[in-house]
Amino acid sequence: MWFYVARRFNLFVLTLAILFLLVFLMHKALPGDPLINLSGITNPTFHQLELLDQQYQLDGSVINQYLAFATERLSGNFGLSLTSAQPILNEITQRLPATIELCIYAMILALLVGIPFGVLAAFRYKKMTDLLIVSVSLVFYSIPIFWLGVIGIMFLGLEFQLLPVAGRLNLLYQIEPITGFTLIDIMLSDLTSKAQALRDAFFHLVMPTVTLALFPITVVIRITRAAMLEELNTNHIKAAEARGVSPLIIVLHHALPNAMQPVLAQVSLQLSTLLTSAMVTEVIFSWPGIGTWLMSAIYQRDFPVISAGILICAGLIIVISIVSDLIAIVGTTKRRSLRHGKN
């Protein structure tokens, strides 16, 4: 068991090293002064210049430069933003919770909606319900996310004025960011009108979350349906059917727990898609997360921010996928033996 954990850890370190290498190579290809692009200090004094030279070792060999770059970034020094001249790490800690909040709610919504419909489709395989669920999910699978967001803004936001179209919270409420998650922050705050603030924050969340969740919902439906179909064909299900167990208990109690394993494993693979969709969603709904931050950096050619953004986004995905992999390996002996061909 510890052998597998060590293997995963090994993979984690190597993947991270390759990610740093890719970003380092990107820095090499960037136009402009490499020192400015790395540090974000536009007009360094002589003293600073000496210090930066020592930090990033631009006089050294390429390997030294790479190692220096990786150590700086790993120790939390992402440099300054070219536009705001603020340390990038501070901006990340401000922005990242908003994105994570949006992603978590969308993922929860996707699982809550996707799994029941997937199970229902598998249970009514090749019947009207199944066909309907599969076709509707295919339609939503094909809608480009930005079009969906725009339609949502047009009808729900402007035409019927049901939901707010931008931001996280009405400016009336002054909430101190403690965790960065609006809902938790409101709970922690000493506001007199907590209930109204919560309501407002919730209404702000609805449209971005639903827009972001629609694509994962369809994916979860497909994965759950496929996993359940496979599970319903196994012998222990047939045995249970022969014993006269009611179909509801068979599906919920015998098939679903087994089918959840592959579903959760595949859902963690969807995270990178979720994060990019979140970036587009943030741009549409002016959600102050890492996506809007990165996009404005791209428009302004703020290279230190761009490279930091890639490192953070990809690093986050790597960490989450390794952790979910570890949980899956610890949780099921079947997977452990499958991986290495020992029965």
Partner 1 sequence: MARTSHIYQDEIIPSPLQQIWRNFATSPLAMLGLWIFAIFMLISIFAPLLAPYPQGYQHSSALLMPPSWHPEGHVAFFFGTDDLGRDIFSNLIYGTRTTFGASILVTFIALFFGCIIGIFSGMSHGLQSSILNHILDATLAIPSLLLAIVFVAISGPGITNVMLAVGISLTPQFMRATHNAVHHELSKEYVTATKLDGANKSQIFFHSILPNILDALVIQITLSISIAIIDIATLGFLKLGVQSPRSEWGAMLSEGLDLIFLAPWNVAMPGLAIFCSVLSINMIGNGLQRALKERID
Q: Give the containing element (helix H, strand E) for 2.
A: helix 2-29
Q: How far is the CB of 226 from partner 1 (least distance, A)?
A: 10
* Site for partner 1 contains 324 (CB under 8 A): no
Binding positions for partner 1, 35-74, rule CB under 8 A: none
Q: Which of 53, 55, 77, 146 binds partner 1 (CB under 8 A)?
A: 146
Binding positions for partner 1, 2-21, rule CB under 8 A: 11, 14-16, 18-19
Distance separating alpha carbons of residues 49 and 38, to the nearest angstrom: 12
Q: Which of 138, 178, 249, 323 binds partner 1 (CB under 8 A)?
A: 138
* Site for partner 1 contains 279 (CB under 8 A): yes
Q: Give the containing element (helix H, strand E) for 328.
A: helix 303-331
C-alpha closest to that of 62 among 94, 21, 18: 21
Give the per-residue contact string, 209-238, with partner 1 (x = CB under 8 A; - = no).
------------------------------
Following DSSP, what letter does each residue of 208-229 receive, concatenated? HHHHHHHHHHHHHHHHHHHHHH
Q: How far is the CB of 32 from partner 1 (least distance, A)?
A: 11
* Site for partner 1 contains 313 (CB under 8 A): yes
User: Which residues neighbour 243 within 8 Å (Cβ) at sequence distance 6 or greater?
Assistant: none
Distance separating alpha carbons of residues 339 and 335, to the nearest angstrom: 6
Number of H helices, E strands in the chain: 16, 0
Distance separating alpha carbons of residues 184 and 189, to the nearest angstrom: 9
* Site for partner 1 contains 165 (CB under 8 A): no
Judged by DSSP in three states, 127 sits in: coil
Q: How far is the CB of 72 from partner 1 (least distance, A)?
A: 20
Q: How far is the CB of 82 from partner 1 (least distance, A)?
A: 13
Are residues 130 and 309 in contact, defined by beta-carbon separation less than 8 angstroms?
Answer: no
Angle, nearest 10°, between helix axes 88-123 and 194-232? 50
Q: Which of 49, 310, 328, 329 binds partner 1 (CB under 8 A)?
A: 310
- Closer to partner 1 by CB, 298 or 327: give it: 298
* Site for partner 1 contains 283 (CB under 8 A): yes
* Site for partner 1 contains 318 (CB under 8 A): yes
Q: Which of 298, 323, 327, 330 binds partner 1 (CB under 8 A)?
A: 298
Number of CB atoms found within 10 A of residue 117's CB: 20
C-alpha closest to that of 316 among 16, 80, 108: 16
Footprint on this chain of partner 1 (rule: CB under 8 A): 11, 14-16, 18-19, 22, 26, 29-31, 134-135, 138-139, 141-147, 150-151, 154, 158, 272-273, 275-276, 279-280, 283, 295, 298-299, 301, 306, 310, 313-314, 317-318, 321
